[in-house]
Amino acid sequence: MDKMNISQLSYSKYCVLTHNSQDYFVHYRPIKNCIKNLLSNPDILKNLMFRYENSKIEDEKSYGEQNSGNWWKRAERSISNHANILSIILYSDATTTDTDTLGKSSLHPIYVSLGNIPTWRRNKEDAKQLLGYLPILSAKNEKEKKSSEFKELARETFHNSIKFLLDPLFQGDGVDFNIDDKDIWFFPRISTIICDWPEACTFLLTYKSANSNYPCHFCLVQREDLIDIRKEVILCNHVNMKEYFDSNTSNLAGLEQVNNYFWSIPNLNIYAATVSDRMHHLDLGLFKYQIEFTMELLKKKKSLNKVNERITDIPRHSQLKVFKKGIQLSRLTASEYRDMMKIMIRRRAIVSRNRVGKTKTPMAFVYTAKLFDFDLLESMIEQNKKDPNLDKKMIKGFEKFIDCLKVYLNILNIISAEGCRIKIYSSVTLKNGAILRTKNDFHHRPWFSNIAVNMNEEELSEYLSDKGICYAQTLLITEIRLPNKSPIHLALVQWYDFIEETPFVYSCPLLRLVEVYNFIEIEAIENTIYVVPRFDKNNEYFVSKIKPVRSRLYSFIKVY
């Protein structure tokens, strides 16, 4: 921390407890100084959000940034019209530290950021500040460590430390911060606390075990009733939880009998603000109840068969298990619950690196005829959606471009696409010498190559494939350049799916085009293929196993 050469972020420590003749310190920087440091960054400042925005897309309410949500709207109504909301985000993760100033010790780092900063900007390193380190108590022996008195002392110390760090924000009638030589009046509000499951329970002072009577810290529903759709769901808040505490009946709500500092902070429901990570949500067993509850609700609404049909319709892709017979809860393993999270939360298939991961250096691709070259923030994509001179397949590619790119960059843990440069070509030569084309006019006809894609070998038993190959049609060929990163060579594709009743006819795959689109790496493309329409059927295609001398001959072949 001391390596940061910023005068207003000087290092300090505060003794929060003396136990067993040992002093325990909060190592910290004043939270107001951390916020001043964030607000002094010109790049952050130019993107800062101050007021609630009622964002809409095609006349429908859109939730993107924090300031478009109902929480911000309610918080803004609770303060003066002349003031602004300062959305405080806390990050927490207990760890063993090894720093120049503190040495190697078990400490609990706390980071702070602002919800006023857009998500893409907030995920950059300079948009967070290390607020401090909280102490982690040491017991003199195993007996003390397991005692209820020691555990209660540890919880009290945690909340006393948090109180020391945050209190300066909540004393008085808001706070002023100087922005562009103007004093701006803010009311700080804690919007989100991000942590893992055990630490979430420490913030909330709820029982940590998923086998407790109330394993969910959002609601007061008993464990055996979590899948009962008839039960009324009572959400936790500072009012009902404090009632249990004041009446000394905390155990009836899965609550520790320790005063929670966050109950005293205005306009905060700590039980809604604390967000635990999905890994603990799954591994501690709550996702199972969530799925069972959802399935019971769907049965009641007679929609279960429709959901199962949609699940079985998902095309076969790497890193995605498909439940061909729908969801049968009694048979699911732990790994299958993990697979289910991918399809129940977002029914979208993804193809990533699969076999390409073994490549030591990126291939040098030979592109021809650059069609477009533009910055991602430019309006080129919107313009091309409406260009009557483009083939409908290329227009479809531009319509799906942004959504598919977001999914792909998310796989690579690339949060921001700022400075992204896009080049779109009409053709590229693959590693085997075949030419991949996406042309509006090739010898007076559009040509959008059909391709064979190598799938992940570990997943092949979970879906239909042609000896490890699945098929797609190419819509766009792109080279994507991000600052300080190697170029990414991608094809935007629309997938074919096997027709389940008769996936192969005369040893030829029988396919149909489905409304699923993805970016895939060009290196994952095994070859171009020839697809023949089944002329007596709608949206049915054969994959030719014989490469013709002239593809025009296929227009004279009638397939039955």
For residue 101, pLDDT over 60 is answered with: no
Average pLDDT over residues 104-117: 83
Question: Percent of the chain having pLDDT more than 70?
Answer: 76
Distance CA(180)–CA(183), nearest Å, equals: 8
CB within 8 Å of 320: residues ≥ 6 apart: 314, 339, 342, 343, 349, 350, 459
User: How many alpha carbons fall within 13 Å on the CB side of residue 89?
Assistant: 18
Q: Could you tell me if 390 and 440 are in contact, meaning their C-beta atoms sit under 8 angstroms apart? A: yes
For residue 335, pLDDT over 60 is answered with: yes
Average pLDDT over residues 378-402: 81
Q: How does the average pLDDT of the chain come out, rounded?
A: 79
Find which of 13-27, 295-309, 448-462, 502-516 is predicted with most confidence, using mean pLDDT.
Answer: 13-27
For residue 539, pLDDT over 60 is answered with: yes
Q: What is the SS3 assignment for 324-372?
A: CCCCCHHHCCHHHHHHHHHHHHCCCCCCCCHHHHHCCCCCCCEEEEEEE
The confidence score (pLDDT) of residue 23 equals: 93
Average pLDDT over residues 416-440: 86
Q: Which of 163-177, 187-201, 461-475, 486-500 has the lowest mean pLDDT?
A: 461-475
Find which of 5-19, 464-478, 542-556 is predicted with most confidence, using mean pLDDT.
Answer: 464-478
The confidence score (pLDDT) of residue 283 equals: 52
Find which of 103-112, 210-219, 517-526 is predicted with most confidence, using mean pLDDT.
Answer: 517-526
Distance CA(541)–CA(361), nearest Å, equals: 36
For residue 4, pLDDT over 50 is answered with: no
Distance CA(26)–CA(110), nearest Å, equals: 11
Q: Could you tell me if 236 and 270 are in contact, meaning their C-beta atoms sit under 8 angstroms apart? A: no
Average pLDDT over residues 265-274: 89
Of 114 and 355, the structure prediction assigns the larger pLDDT to 114
Q: What does 5-44 look like in DSSP terms, one character per residue?
A: --GGG--EEEEEEEETTEEEEEEE--HHHHHHHHHT-HHH
In sequence order, what are the beta bridge partners of 543? 531
pTM: 0.56
Of 359 and 204, the structure prediction assigns the larger pLDDT to 204
**Exposure string (b/e) for 66-95, b if CB count within 10 Å is 16 or more?**
bbbbebbeebbeebeeebbbbbbbbbbebe
Tell me which H or E stretch contains 270.
helix 270-273
Average pLDDT over residues 88-104: 65
For residue 559, pLDDT over 80 is answered with: no
For residue 406, pLDDT over 90 is answered with: no
Distance CA(22)–CA(135), nearest Å, equals: 12
Strands 84-92 and 182-195: parallel
Distance CA(293)–CA(462), nearest Å, equals: 26
CB within 8 Å of 301: residues ≥ 6 apart: none
Q: Which amino acid is at 217?
A: H
Distance CA(206)–CA(317), nearest Å, equals: 40
Distance CA(39)–CA(512), nearest Å, equals: 54
Of 401 and 57, the structure prediction assigns the larger pLDDT to 401
The confidence score (pLDDT) of residue 553 equals: 39
Q: How many CB atoms lie under 10 A from the CB of residue 460?
A: 16
**Exposure string (b/e) for 286-317, b if CB count within 10 Å is 16 or more?**
bbbbbbebbbeebeeeeebeebbeebeebbbb
- The sign of the torsion formed by the CA atoms of 52, 191, 30, 41 equals negative
Distance CA(485)–CA(404), nearest Å, equals: 19
Strands 525-529 and 531-533: unpaired
For residue 500, pLDDT over 80 is answered with: no
The domains found in the chain, sorted by start residue, are 1-195 (no CATH), 196-278 (no CATH), 286-345 (no CATH), 360-556 (2.30.30)
Could you tell me how many helices (H) and strands (E) the chain has, helices first? 15, 23
What angle do helix axes 334-345 and 286-300 make, rounded to 10 degrees? 60
